[in-house]
A and B are shown apart, each in its own frame.
Chain A
């Protein structure tokens, strides 16, 4: 690895590219185990070191909540407030595409409220355009070997990040599906199946909207897979074999390649076939809401055959690829939050990962229990010490 400073190095923050998304300061109040911390962040890599249970993940969670208004742990608002407190606040000065803004999220009993420069944004999209973050947390391993729901969410969220209009597509589909399920449920409760003509109408809406969901997922995977393959190879080395993503679901592979119309026709036919079964069961059993995808490396499904290390590399590669794609398509690189870097990745893979992140010149926030887990030159990052909800600059030497 080279030892020269890249633009992502904290010591070279003034060489920062205009396209970089840069969280300059961070202020966290009454969030989880933090009463009040204020940090000035370097534009490159920050590493938060601390023992178990000191608040490392909590800090990443605060940044993630600021960027997405959601917790990566799926925590409810009340869990995020410091015990005994009724309000929490996360504030940051963020620079994006050359524009400096102050973003603020306040959490209270009524929910979350986002502000830009102290004012309510006209639309939430105005808020989100100022900040993007991608997190890799230990739970992400479940993307590879966990239940399908997480994988569908990953796909839909990543597709949405690149194309906000996808949200409307998903919403239409959800509406149609909920209506159809309500009809089926009512039929089951009355013990008389819904009228076929009526069910057929909702099936038609599910097919039209569902086909758009599937087509958009296909389009996204078309862009994503080549990037993923490259990133995965970068982390693991080419020797392990080509990485693939296989989408499986309500529509056969050959129909998937026939575009929106082909998908819609096939889905329509599948819904028609399933009609009686669905009437009997009282809920929808066919559609993209049940589709899944899996990671295959060198012809083998990682879910069934992957080692812990392979699964971890693949999950990490998924998140890093999201970054690479967002950087390419949005023109600014999201913040990368990397929780709990441990010795699970072998030193070679670890080093490859760090090199990759530095190449992206992303702002990166890493947490670890041991600095020695990191394979980066000490020149290239700013270390911080986390102890019991307090954070200070850290000199490993002293």
Chain B
């Protein structure tokens, strides 16, 4: 039992500062913005409960979604021949925001990293192989241009190529070592257009 309840604003600041990229100063600024607004707290609370209760993962692509298959996987306008492989949902979002890509996605859930104990089994690699069908013609490897992302791309390329698919790697328009999530839309568009075969 909580005998002494924490001050509600302090508690809000504390919870906010647990989010990645938010320090205690930013958390305090956000908290006071929420307190000042008449509607924000209610809207946020609703959205938060919404993600907790409604969001799961699309079994096909691995992207978080309330519906399964997700909106992207069930969009008939999209080209089923193309699958773009990314590390994390944020990368998918970044590519979607660039607006030029009209194929499907596959979210791996990370990149190979023996230091963190991440091997192919820890990533959604089997699921990728399982969803490749006759209609699939090209796999675009859009893992981050880091040592780990490059190794992951190479691993997948060597796995998928024998299946007779076109395999391409997103061009290095993305600056070396930078992550997709933080790259601007036009750079992502260009990197996708200029992808090269591997």
Residues of A participating in the B interface, judged by any CB pair closer than 8 Å: 168, 172, 175-176, 178-180, 182-183, 186, 197-198, 200-202, 204-205, 209
Contact = CB atoms under 8 A, between A and B. Distances in A.
In the A-B complex, the 4 residue pairs with the smallest Cβ-Cβ separation, listed nearest first, are A182-B114, A183-B114, A175-B147, A182-B115
Interface string B102-131: 000000000011110101100000000000
Given A186-B114, A198-B120, A201-B112, A176 B158 contact: no
A81 B117 CA distance: 39
A183 B148 CA distance: 13
B176 A168 contact: yes
B147 A176 contact: yes
B147 A179 contact: yes
A179 B112 CA distance: 9
Contact of A180 (B114, B117, B120, B177): B114
B132 to A, nearest CB: 18
Contacts of A200: 158
Contacts of B120: 198
Contact of B115 (A172, A178, A204, A209): A178
Contact of B147 (A182, A198, A205): A205
B66 interface: no
19 contacts: A168-B176, A168-B177, A175-B146, A176-B147, A176-B151, A179-B113, A179-B147, A179-B148, A179-B151, A182-B115, A186-B117, A197-B155, A197-B158, A198-B120, A201-B151, A201-B154, A202-B151, A205-B150, A205-B154
B183 to A, nearest CB: 17
Contacts of A176: 147, 151
A108 to B, nearest CB: 21
- Residue of A180, A200, A202 most packed against chain B (CB within 10 A): A202
A222 to B, nearest CB: 24
A180 B146 CA distance: 15
Nearest to A179: B114
Interface residues of B, number: 18
Given A197-B158, A202-B151, A179 B119 contact: no
Interface in B182-196: none
Contacts of B154: 201, 204-205
A186 B114 CA distance: 8
B105 to A, nearest CB: 22
A164 B154 CA distance: 28
Contacts of B148: 175, 179
Contacts of B117: 186
Contacts of A179: 112-115, 147-148, 151
B176 A198 contact: no
B177 A201 contact: no
A209 B154 CA distance: 14
Contacts of A172: 147, 177
B39 to A, nearest CB: 38
A198 B158 contact: no
A295 B151 CA distance: 37
A348 B155 CA distance: 62
A81 to B, nearest CB: 29
A202 B153 CA distance: 11
Nearest to B155: A201
B192 to A, nearest CB: 23
A202 B112 CA distance: 10
A59 B120 CA distance: 54
A198 B154 CA distance: 10
Contact of B151 (A168, A186, A205): A205
Nearest to A204: B154
Given A168-B176, A175-B147, 19 more contacts: A168-B177, A172-B147, A178-B115, A179-B112, A179-B113, A179-B114, A179-B115, A180-B114, A182-B114, A182-B115, A186-B114, A197-B159, A198-B112, A198-B119, A198-B155, A201-B154, A201-B158, A204-B151, A205-B150
